[in-house]
Amino acid sequence: MPRDCEVAIIGGGIVGLMAALTLAERGVPVVVFEKGTLAGEQSSRNLGWVRKTGRELPDLPLAMESDRLWDIMPQRVGRDVGFRRTGILYCVRNEAQLAPHEAWLDAVGDHHLGSRLVSNAEIADLVPGGQEGWYGGIYTPSDGKAEPQLAASAIARAAMAKGAVIIEQCAVRGLSLAAGRVAAVVTERGELPCKVAILAGGVWSRRFLGNHDVSLPTLPVIASVLRTKPIVGPTDIAVGAPDFSFRKDHSGGFTITQRGGFIAPLALDSLLLARQFAPVLRKEWRQIRLSLGRHFLDDLALPRRWQPTGPSPFEKQRTINPDVSQTLNAEALTNLRAAWPVFQGRTGSA
């Protein structure tokens, strides 16, 4: 552990690591603390879609900037992170499902994204071998993908090469304040004075801030993802349908998920934030499956208040590792196989 730093970053997921790289490139002394292993949570388990399609308008400038950053990432980090502009296609089954895509296209008209509506015949050209008669879809050729298992470690290595210090297995328990400003981060291995702290703690940020009397209104959802061995698939385009999605990864296998199903584990926060999240629940209720399971008790057992002198919840759970929902994965595979039979019997999961 260095004696001090300019910026302390709490969390070694892709957000914390990218912030570290950016600061290190600018010569700012920066230290990243990760309670478990780098990118051990969301950042190595996601689908890897780099998407502008369907972004809410306020998010669109960020998505476009992110797109530009992925483009130059190989030069920045000196490694392949799997970024390819293979396009993203969403297929829909009826007019009601197409309507939000039409509205979105109208709204983003002057951003030159190259997104366009496509017919069933065009979908058949783009992704051969399909069995469904799609009502239509939306296609953005300039969207793409990156490889979660390559990107975070490449970014971490590049940040370290530029002088960033990264410390794994070291939780930040809290902040030490002086005159209302952050003066240090308090870690399980002692205090590190800093001028600025960046909280990039993913699903843990709410608990971290709660101990400092700041309410960050976030609730977790769990998605399950299936990965296949290399197979000959129908396309390199990432394809999303209402009840499945798939995309080819760098090894030639496919990443498949049930787009129509997320598990929302009920916990104390679900009650505390119920009013704020009611509109989302009303809008997305078809996709969200509420679950009252092990998570409820595990969550209750984790402290919400602690002293920085003693162990924090972040040391008790180094890496959050929710159970895979075999039901959701099986649904996704069944729906995909019905739509593109080329996936029948050839997917042996990895």
Ligand X SMILES: Cc1cc2nc3c(=O)[nH]c(=O)nc-3n(C[C@H](O)[C@H](O)[C@H](O)COP(=O)(O)OP(=O)(O)OC[C@H]3O[C@@H](n4cnc5c(N)ncnc54)[C@H](O)[C@@H]3O)c2cc1C
Residues that bind ligand X (CB under 6 A): 10-16, 33-36, 39-43, 45-49, 171-172, 200-204, 208, 223, 225, 314
Per the structure block, which two tokens stand in for 64?
Answer: 């476009």
DSSP 285-321: TTTEEEE-SHHHHHHHHS-SS--TTS--HHHH-SS--
Give whichever of 141 and 341 is closer to ligand X, judged by the CB atom. 141
Distance from the first to the final alpha carbon of the chain = 38
Name the minimum Å distance from CB 45 to ligand X: 6
In angstroms, give the least distance from the CB of 281 to ligand X.
19
Task: Please say whether the beta carbons of 67 and 53 come within 8 A.
Answer: no
By C-beta, is 124 or 203 nearer to ligand X? 203
Residue type, 56: E
Closest CB to ligand X among residues 39, 166:
39
- Give least dist CB 321 to ligand X, A: 11
Q: How far is the CB of 271 from ligand X (least distance, A)?
A: 23
Q: Which is nearer to ligand X, 87 or 201 (CB)?
A: 201
Q: Closer to ligand X at the Cβ: 242 or 341?
A: 242
Q: How far is the CB of 121 from ligand X (least distance, A)?
A: 28
Helices (H), the chain: 14-25, 42-45, 60-77, 95-107, 120-126, 148-161, 205-210, 268-272, 274-284, 294-301, 313-316, 326-339
User: Considering only CA atoms, which of 177, 174, 209 is closest in space to residue 190?
Assistant: 174
